[in-house]
């Protein structure tokens, strides 16, 4: 099992404030309630006592307090996620602030990095500099991303992070290809959304062939049920219903944008998002009692010059903290976010923006933090070089917050201090060795250099990681998959 | 394996692990209670293994340590721990070496007047001891007069002098030391190092520049070869 890091959570809301937000969310679900563009969801709510009125192409649903409270109580407080290698299983316990990090966002753009020689016009000095090229993502990129993430210590789970846009990828074969590309190149838990709900059973069947009868599901799903403010989207709501019927874990994700699709105020966005997620959780439990779901908190603030997303804004971090605290209040494991910024290129600026939320999200104690690796330009671009840097920096954040062992450390340290004071050199270096060997210390920043040298070193590391062997799906299982599903031969 | 080979193998292993004696942990925090270099060298001598063989074995071990450092498997703390283990082993060997007329080469180290920053000097001293030198560590904030007096008192047995300074304001005192040595007619080689020191500065004061403690030890060994 992957342990993650158990933290003492940083909390902004006290018990009374949490209760106030809870009550505000319940009142939002009554008035104005939600708009559902999905008829089946409206019917399920109506059958269970909600007030539903039909309009032209949508339904208004006013959800009574008791229905929400009773449904939310049914949602499991522990969700287990399996993996091809059982060592990578995850147990997400809402009572335990144990943080795990993973990838996320189906990015449209891949940022390739090359290295070229340049000669200074003034001094004639030759130097190497990174050069970048943007292009559409392919299924091969997804395979490569999974291979790199398999090797990285701090990537605990994998959410497909490339929108595969090859010419021979269609709506009909996209889902099996993206799940196969991920599962064949890594042995950690794989999560994703669906492009075509009609392919849900194919994806599940393929995962079951690969898992070889493991009890815990090696894949799980994301359903972005709500479009803020408070609107149930027809397709993704249907996805939630069908995934829950098959008893697969689902993230019920909301992404209100403070300042445009939600109030800019911290309390307003947290309350609205909470209402959106509670509505989804209620629906899930009405479809199947005790269905495993995650509280999908993905809020952000918008920038005021363009109304684009501003993940690096301080308020985004405030919203994150509120989301995690509300999930804890309901006893539902929390899917949160970290590591997103506005910068388009890997390196210092991107890292500065990302570290703000990497650190804060670790501090919140969310059980399942996505978006944490490799994203640039919001969630639009993926850079494997940045992904490797992010892995290092997430590790640093985890180190800061890891559990203390005060008594044991004092016992050791006092002995060391007394011994060292009796030497001529007064150096504690020999005692640092076992900590270094235990992996608790990084010996030095491994990509040290000016900005350009750092990226060139990271690129070398990427090549090493890509050439490392991966425990692929066994050949007999591959044969069965390729016989049964339209998976592209070139990623076999 | 013969008992003598077995004990020499253990000495080598423990130098590589940086274990001075039975109290010490190895790199992973284990091995406490098992004999370290001190006990093993003592045992080897009692088992009538000659000091020459033991020193060869220690030198072999330090070659292994050096290689591990070069390949990135070992870090500075590992090098220093091994150097300390060697230093302890050499102390046990010293009476035997004296019997056959072998003496350790002497080296004086000091942080110059006005400066109390001694991490670099301490690392250098540890590495020197690990390389088999007898180190006279004069400490920090040491005046040129005191250094010259110590060198004089050792009556020509000093191979060289190592000076460190962290500050640009205090490094000038290194020049005072070299000047005083010249005035006293002593042509001792002076190695200098520290954050503020450069090759240009070393050349200016007639000293030998060392970028770090490792280079310092290499240069010290060269001084012996030169005689």
What string of H, E and C letters represents the secondary structure of chain A? CCCCEECCCCCCCCHHHHHHHHHHHHHHHHCCCEEECCHHHHHHHHHCCCEEEECCCCEEEECCHHHHHHHHHHCCCEEEECCCCHHHCEEEECCCCEECEECCCCECEEEEEEEEEEECCCCCCEEEEEEEEEEECCHHHHHHHHHHHHHCCCCCEEECCECCCCCCCCCCCHHHHHHHHHHHCCCCEEEECCCCHHHHHHHHHHHHHHHCCCCCCCEEEEECCEECCCEECHHHHHHHHHHHHCCCCEEEEECCEECCCECCCHHHHHHHHHHHHHHHHHHHHHHCCCCCEEEEECCEEECCCCCCEECCCHHHHHHHHHHHHHHHHHCCCEEEECCCCCCCCCCHHHHHHHHHHHHHHHHHCCCEEECCCCEECCCCEECHHHHHHHHHHHHHHHHHHCCCCHHHHHHHHHHHHHHHHCCCCCCCHHHHHHHHHCCCCCCCCCCCCCHHHHHHHHHHHHHHHHHCCCCCCCHHHHHHHHHHCCCCHHHC
Q: What is the mean pLDDT of residues A446-456?
A: 89
Q: What is the mean pLDDT of residues B130-138?
A: 92
CB contact under 8 A, B122 and A424: yes
Q: Does B47 touch chain A (CB under 8 A)?
A: no
pLDDT tens profile B89-117: 999 998 988 887 788 899 999 999 998 88
Q: Does A405 touch chain B (CB under 8 A)?
A: no
Instruction: Name the closest residue on chain B to residue A432, using Cα atoms.
Output: B77
Name chain B contacts of A437, Cβ cutoff 8 Å. Answer: 27-29
Q: Which of A424, A430, A436 sits opposite B80 (nearest CB)?
A: A430
Q: Which of A429, A437, A438 sits opposite B76 (nearest CB)?
A: A429
Do the domains B106-226 and B3-99 match in fold?
Answer: no
- Domain layout of chain B by residue ranges: 3-99, 106-226
Give the distance from residue B164's alpha carbon to the nearest chain A alpha carbon, in angstroms: 14
Tokens of A115: 């290295």
Backbone angles phi, psi at B33, to 5 degrees: 100, -25
- Domain layout of chain A by residue ranges: 5-10+78-401, 406-437
pLDDT at A443: 85
pLDDT at A83: 97
Q: Which of B25, B78, B122 sits opposite A425 (nearest CB)?
A: B122
Q: What percent of chain A has pLDDT over 70?
A: 100
Q: Does A436 touch chain B (CB under 8 A)?
A: yes
Name chain B contacts of A438, Cβ cutoff 8 Å. Answer: 28-29
pLDDT at A372: 92
- Decide if domain A5-10+78-401 falls under CATH 3.20.20.480: yes
Tell whether the model's pLDDT for residue A57 goes beyond 90.
yes
Q: What percent of chain A has pLDDT over 90?
A: 89
Instruction: Name the closest residue on chain A to residue B30, using Cα atoms.
Output: A434
Tell whether the model's pLDDT for residue B194 goes beyond 90.
no
pLDDT tens profile A237-263: 999 999 999 999 999 999 999 999 999
Question: Which strands make up the sheet holding A257-258, listed edge to edge?
Answer: A257-258, A300-302, A309-310
Name chain B contacts of A427, Cβ cutoff 8 Å. Answer: 80, 119, 122-123, 126
Instruction: Name the closest residue on chain A to residue B74, using Cα atoms.
Output: A433
Out of A45-49, B136-140, B188-192, the most confident range is: A45-49
CB contact under 8 A, A429 and B81: yes
Q: What is the mean pLDDT of residues A193-212?
A: 96
Q: Which of A426, A437, A443 sits opposite B122 (nearest CB)?
A: A426
Q: Does B194 touch chain A (CB under 8 A)?
A: no
Instruction: Name the closest residue on chain B to residue A428, using Cα atoms.
Output: B77
Band (B1; pLDDT cuts 50, 70, 90) = low
Q: How far apart are CA A231 and CA A225, in angstroms?
A: 8
Q: Which of B24, B119, B137 sits opposite A424 (nearest CB)?
A: B137
pLDDT at B227: 66
Q: Which of B24, B28, B119 sits opposite A437 (nearest CB)?
A: B28
Q: What CATH number does domain B106-226 carry, 3.40.140.10, 3.40.50.280, 3.40.830.10, 1.10.275.30? A: 3.40.50.280
pLDDT tens profile A61-95: 999 999 999 999 999 999 999 999 999 999 999 99
Tell me the pTM.
0.88
CATH code for the structural domain at B3-99? 1.10.1240.10
């Amino acid at each position: 099992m992957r342990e993650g890091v158990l933290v003492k959570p940083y909390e902004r809301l006290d018990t009374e404030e949490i209760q106030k937000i809870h009550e505000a969310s319940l009142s939002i679900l009554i008035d104005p309630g939600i708009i559902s563009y999905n008829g089946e969801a409206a019917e399920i709510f109506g059958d269970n006592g909600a007030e539903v009125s039909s309009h032209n192409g949508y339904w208004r649903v006013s959800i009574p307090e008791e229905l929400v409270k009773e449904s939310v109580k049914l949602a499991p407080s522990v969700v287990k996620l399996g993996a091809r290698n059982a060592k990578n299983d995850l147990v997400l316990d809402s009572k335990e602030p144990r943080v795990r990090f993973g990838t996320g966002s189906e990015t449209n753009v891949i940022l390739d990095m090359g290295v070229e020689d340049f000669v200074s016009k003034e001094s004639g000095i030759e130097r190497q500099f990174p050069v970048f090229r943007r292009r559409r993502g392919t299924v091969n990129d997804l395979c490569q991303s999974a291979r790199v993430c398999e090797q990285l210590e701090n990537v605990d789970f994998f959410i497909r992070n490339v929108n595969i846009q090859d010419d021979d990828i269609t709506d009909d074969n996209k889902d099996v290809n993206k799940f196969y590309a991920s599962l064949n190149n890594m042995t950690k838990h794989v999560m994703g959304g669906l492009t075509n709900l009609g392919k849900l059973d194919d994806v599940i069947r393929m995962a079951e062939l690969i898992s070889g009868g493991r009890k815990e599901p090696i894949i799980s799903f994301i359903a972005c049920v709500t479009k803020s403010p408070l609107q149930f989207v027809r397709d993704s709501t249907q996805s939630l219903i069908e995934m829950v019927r098959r008893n697969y874990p689902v993230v019920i994700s909301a992404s209100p944008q403070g300042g445009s699709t939600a109030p800019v105020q911290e309390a307003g966005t947290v309350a609205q998002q909470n209402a959106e997620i509670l509505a989804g959780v209620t629906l899930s439990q009405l479809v199947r009692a005790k269905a495993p779901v995650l509280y999908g908190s993905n809020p952000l603030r918008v920038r005021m010059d363009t109304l684009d997303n501003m993940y690096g804004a301080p308020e985004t971090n405030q919203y994150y903290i509120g989301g995690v605290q509300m999930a804890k209040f309901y006893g539902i494991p929390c899917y949160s976010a970290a590591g997103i910024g506005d910068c388009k290129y890997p390196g210092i600026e991107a890292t500065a923006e990302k570290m703000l939320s990497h650190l804060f999200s670790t501090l919140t104690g969310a059980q399942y933090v996505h978006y944490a690796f490799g994203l640039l330009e919001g969630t639009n671009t993926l850079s494997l070089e940045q992904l490797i840097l992010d892995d290092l920096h997430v590790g640093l954040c985890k180190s800061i917050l890891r559990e203390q062992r005060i008594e044991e450390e004092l016992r050791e340290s006092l002995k060391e201090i007394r011994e060292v004071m009796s030497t001529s050199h007064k150096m504690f270096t020999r005692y640092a060795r076992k900590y270094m060997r235990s992996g608790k210390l990084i010996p030095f920043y491994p990509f040290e250099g000016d900005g350009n040298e750092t990226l060139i070193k990271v690129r070398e590391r990427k090549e090493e990681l890509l050439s490392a062997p991966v425990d692929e799906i066994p050949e007999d299982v591959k044969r069965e998959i390729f016989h049964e599903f339209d998976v592209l031969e070139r990623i076999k | 394996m013969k008992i003598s080979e077995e004990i020499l193998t253990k000495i080598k292993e423990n130098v590589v692990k940086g274990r001075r004696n039975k109290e010490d942990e190895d790199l992973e925090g284990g091995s406490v209670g098992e004999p370290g270099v001190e006990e093993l060298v003592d045992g080897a001598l009692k088992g009538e293994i000659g000091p020459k063989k033991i020193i060869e074995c220690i030198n072999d071990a330090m070659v292994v340590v050096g290689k591990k450092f070069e390949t990135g498997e070992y870090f500075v703390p590992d090098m220093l721990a091994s150097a300390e283990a060697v230093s302890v082993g050499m102390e046990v060997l010293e009476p035997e070496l004296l019997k056959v007329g072998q003496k350790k080469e002497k080296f004086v180290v000091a942080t110059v007047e006005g400066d109390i920053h001694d991490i670099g000097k301490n690392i250098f001293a540890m590495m020197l001891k690990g390389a088999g030198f007898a180190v006279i560590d004069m400490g920090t904030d040491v005046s040129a007069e005191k250094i010259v007096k110590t060198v004089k008192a050792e009556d020509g047995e000093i191979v060289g002098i190592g000076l460190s300074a962290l500050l640009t304001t205090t490094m000038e005192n290194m020049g005072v030391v070299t000047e005083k040595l010249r005035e006293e007619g002593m042509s001792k080689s002076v190695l200098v190092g520290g954050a503020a020191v450069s090759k240009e500065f070393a050349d200016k004061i007639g000293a030998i520049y060392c970028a770090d403690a490792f280079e310092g030890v290499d240069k010290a060994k060269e001084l012996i070869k030169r005689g």
